[in-house]
Amino acid sequence: MVQLTVPPVDANAASDLVTAVTDTAVLDKTVEEVLGLMMGVPVNISETPVPPSNIPVTLTAVIGLAGALSGVFTVVVNEAGAKQITACMMGMEVSTVDDTVLDGLGEIANILAGAWKSKIPALSAACLLSVPTVVTGTHYEIHKKTSTFQLARSYRFQDSILTITLYGEYS
């Protein structure tokens, strides 16, 4: 078992953390590096987030955050987008949503969450990530308790839209 000890944060440091966590530029840079550079697929920002309830068949990869932040990092995409992401990551044709696609989406979410937190010095060593969980279905919503922060951003990835949402509380 890993024990995470988080030292008390003073008000200025907490304010800096709030600013960094909710900074869309940090998330945008992360997405561009992971999807654009690593997978070689251009990614464009979509100014309108696409909530899961507007996508007929949705896949949501959930990464838990613990330590300096307590919350989740989610990646929401439709079925076609999940197959496209996996095909680019694996370098092979993907025709159905199977365990490979579910694992691929979970791994991309894990890479995105890890790259995002590594860009925020206060989180780098003081925030742990859970193993990814992938939820599939139609017109579902993820319910959460009240959060002190939330950031939602959507990106165009090939023919699909990928939405990343971060929400939770500061410890």
Average pLDDT, integer, range 46-73: 81
pLDDT digits (tens, 9 = 90+) for 75-129: 999 898 999 989 988 888 999 999 999 999 999 999 999 999 999 998 988 999 9
- From the number of C-beta atoms within 10 Å of its C-beta (0-12, 13-18, 19+), residue 95 rates as exposed
What is the C-alpha to C-alpha distance for residues 149 and 167, in angstroms, rounded to an integer? 5
| pLDDT at residue 115, rounded to an integer | 97
Instruction: Note the CATH number of domain 11-170.
Output: 3.40.1550.10
Contact 123, 100 (CB under 8 A): no
Band the pLDDT of 37: cuts 50, 70, 90.
Answer: confident
Residue 3 has pLDDT above 90, yes or no: no
Domain boundaries, the chain: 11-170
User: What pTM was computed for the model?
Assistant: 0.87
Helix (H, G, I), strand (E, B) or coil at 150: strand
